Structure 1
């Protein structure tokens, strides 16, 4: 029988999820991907709210905060009410909680979560534009602290393949296998991509492969629009530095992000488009993501047509 499981979230709200093994398994996988491995206390703590308070105090303190050894204290919050109308206690400050349960709040883990805003996006643009080479761009991404996905990811997934190749693939974000190895498309979907390349006489030495988002989202969830926007300047610069003749979007997400189109993948795939880059127009095409083809093998016939079109386009470019 399928019922409803109620989970407390944020201290004062309830989140309802279906009591179905698949949903529960997905939720547990999300928590595991985010680094949660045990329950420490009965009531949850909104670390993001504490981080906002600490950020506000750091902004008021200015440069003195950097040299101060005193822990940050959150703002006093008014008591909230739960779903039964009963008053609930305000969140406990981070330092006492850490002392009571032996946990370390995110703000003291070497890098604090950040609130995505226009300043962070502008900083990402400036940093990406300052990279003259792909190696420098990788270093810039490794040092970039503006995306919270870096907190939960194990490795930066920058790129794979030949940076001198005339063919470039762009996906959305890495998964579990990619996060472990630090390379894009190395899991089951990556193995299928390798076979698809081999079918048209190519391999990874003939292509360059990257993602819009270079860090794995917890639990393989979809990146938020803010996370995508923060990472977007780096993939734009990556495409500029590779400067391919043919650009292939694996799935609709990367095409929508980089081309600004709103069509779904069924309507978009197989249609040649143009991607403006460094004063020239790159031939671009979208095709099904290999992960989707693993779930829907009947669609492989359409991807085969796309890859034949890619092979033909590369031949035309080489002949020009």
Structure 2
């Protein structure tokens, strides 16, 4: 039975609208190749008194499950490979190339682009967030969506812009659906961001949000308890002053907390002015 062209066109338009809704909602990955009908009627229970037929014996004996330590050993090997790859880079350009060729993190397979950094290498201030979002994945640059626009305004309030800072993330690939990176994913990527900080060699490191502060500063408290505090970050060559503050995405959800972020920005500006004065004298 053929359908009129108008009906076919209406169906295609409805499908396109549905797909656009999924993309806007952050759903951009199918977990299975074949669709599943979640509304299908489940198997009916057997009536009482009717004995269930015994399951047929398997034709081949089942293979024993792999020991749990095998997966752990594989994860450790991947982490060691990440460390070796990151340490082998002698410049930010080499680190970017090494990260683009690194296949140890599964997020690379689902992301569109590597989101390495933005801003000026060697800037006095380096800001580190958690992971890219949809807009960042599309453009290949960190903090270009709504939270990035707010970050630009925050920097402008203390006389900074993207040309005077360097911006990166703990994880350089977007997790599917903007989910939180798993501890294993963050651990695999951490050697790269640590080497990135070392090669950028800023005077001040700013951790945007709790996950960034926990990964780089080793804190265990929430960001509301950590923000505004100064820490020492060791690069192996020197000690860098580090500040934890609220992530712009959090401020978009909780605008009333912008007053706390403003205090942190003023503290950052004060330290930059003091260190600049000390360098001139």
TM-score relative to the length of structure 1:
0.67
1:133 CA drift (Å): 0.2
Give the superposition deviation at 1:281. Answer: 1.3
Structure 1 residues 196, 235: CA separation in 2 closer, same or farther (over 3 Å shift)? Answer: same
| Greater per-residue strand proportion | 1
Q: Greater CA deviation, 279-288 or 201-210? A: 279-288
SS of 2:154's partner is helix
Residue 269 of structure 1 aligns with which residue?
Answer: 227
Higher gyration radius (CA): 2
Q: Secondary structure at the match of 2:172?
A: coil
Q: Does 1:40 align with 2:28?
A: no
Question: How far apart in 2 are the matches of 1:215 and 1:264?
Answer: 24
Query: Is 1:180 aligned to 2:138, yes or no?
Result: yes
**Unpaired runs of 5+ in structure 1?**
1-24, 45-81, 90-114
Flag the 1:148–1:319 CA change in 2: closer, same or farther, 3 A: same
- Number of the residue aligned with 1:223: 181
Q: For the residues of structure 2 that align with 1:248 and 1:118, how far apart are their CA atoms?
A: 29
* Structure-2 change in CA distance of 1:306 and 1:145 (3 Å): same
CA contact (8 A) 1:116 1:147 kept: no
1:189 and 1:118, CA in 2 relative to 1: closer, same or farther beyond 3 A?
Answer: same
Aligned to 1:280: 238
2:164 corresponds in structure 1 to: 206
Matched, 1:157 2:108: no
Give 5+ residue unaligned stretches, structure 2.
1-20, 47-51, 57-72
Q: Does 1:119 align with 2:77?
A: yes
Higher relative CO (CA 8 A, sep ≥ 6), structure 1 or 2? 2
Residue 29 of structure 1, CA deviation:
4.5
Q: Which runs of 4+ in 1 moved over 6 A?
A: 25-28, 84-89
Q: For the aligned residues, what is the CA RMSD?
A: 2.7
Once the two structures are TM-superposed, the CA of residue 315 in structure 1 deviates from its matched residue by 1.1
Q: Find the counterpart in structure 2 of residue 170 from structure 1.
A: 128
Say whether the 8 Å CA contact 1:174–1:211 is kept in structure 2.
yes
Aligned pairs (5 A) from 1:1-320? 29=25, 32-35=27-30, 40-42=34-36, 117-320=75-278
Q: Is the 8 A contact 2:130 2:211 kept in 1?
A: yes
Cα distance in 1, alignment partners of residues 36 and 125 from structure 2: 53
* Distance (Å, rounded) in 2 between the aligned partners of 1:297 and 1:258: 26
Aligned length: 231
Distance 2:229 2:154 in 1: 19
Q: Distance in 2 between matches of 1:299 and 1:223?
A: 24
Aligned partners of 2:22, 2:268: CA distance in 1, in Å? 36
Call closer, same or farther: CA 1:29–1:148 in 2, change over 3 Å. Answer: farther
What CA distance in whole angstroms lies between the structure 1 residues aligned with 2:236 and 2:34? Answer: 52
Name the TM-score, length of structure 2 as normaliser: 0.76
CA contact (8 A) 2:232 2:240 kept: yes
Deviations 1:56-108 (Å, cap 9, x if unpaired)?
xxxxxxxxxxxxxxxxxxxxxxxxxx9x899999xxxxxxxxxxxxxxxxxxx
